[in-house]
Amino acid sequence: MNDRRDAPIGVFDSGMGGLSVVRDIQAHLPDESICYFADTAHVPYGCRTDDDIRQLTAQAVAWLYESGCKAVVVACNTASAFSLTALREHYGAGFPIIGLVPAVKPAVAATHTHRVGVLATQGTLRGTLLNDVIREVATPAGVQVLTAVSPKLVPFVEQGRQNSPECDAELLQILSPLAAAGVDQLVLGCTHYPFLRPAIRRVFGDQFALIDSGAAVAKQTGRVLAQHGLARVHRPCRPNAKPLDICVSGDVSSARHVVATLLECPFILRAMT
């Protein structure tokens, strides 16, 4: 009988942004294997209707479940904002679902100007998770939260153009009001946005401390696996780690180039079946 602890962790995002979370999980849980699903046929989720987001997220998680994953990380802020409660109710405690919450709490703790920025998608701004954490954490601390949104940023990353002049120009336009308002902590409220760190630094220098949820999610994933008896047993003689298994719902050939620009680890890319 197969040991369920050896099954992979499923990680899902609307596109390639969740690979930023995968990097953190690999660093924190090096013994674990990962199956990554990118719903590239429907990216981006941020501009879709609430019902579309819920349906696409449910389909993606179902695919990972049926593929034999032992748990799923919903590495998409927009999907997390609309689907976590329903997913957990559907699958129960035997199939853990880990989601993302924008990293407002550490930003509030670190700010010196009492002004925090959140760079997010339209979907994340509409959802409840961000608004809840602002109400529960930022407002009582007397910290003002300013938001910035652009439908162009996710496509830049999905096209491998995160270091293009056009991306720099878009960042300058949407983040300049936050800089002028004295924001000193910028929460990257979409898993695509950690891949924009070099561009943000290029345009704004050290104006913002950049904060994302990746490391916290990786640690939470480790805690949840341990609590459910699903953490993979460390074996010093285990062969070298397998290439990252990446599955896409869209075109494989175009995805291959993008993944190569975002990842340094070996990977296998295949179409959803």
**Candidate list 69, 76, 167, 247, residue with the active-site label:** 76
H or E segment and range at residue 231? none
**Candidate list 35, 69, 190, 247, residue with the active-site label:** 190
User: Do 57 and 87 form a contact (C-beta atoms < 8 A)?
Assistant: yes
Q: Where are the beta strands (DSSP E) in the chain?
A: 9-13, 34-38, 71-74, 97-98, 115-120, 144-149, 185-188, 209-211, 244-248, 267-271
CA gap 120, 266 in Å, rounded: 29
CA gap 164, 199 in Å, rounded: 8
Active site residue 190: yes
- Tokens (6 digits) for 181: 């308002």
Helix (H) and strand (E) counts in the chain: 11, 10
Residue from 193, 192, 194, 83 nearest 129 by CA: 83
- Tokens (6 digits) for 272: 């959803």
Catalytic residue numbers, as ranges = 76, 190
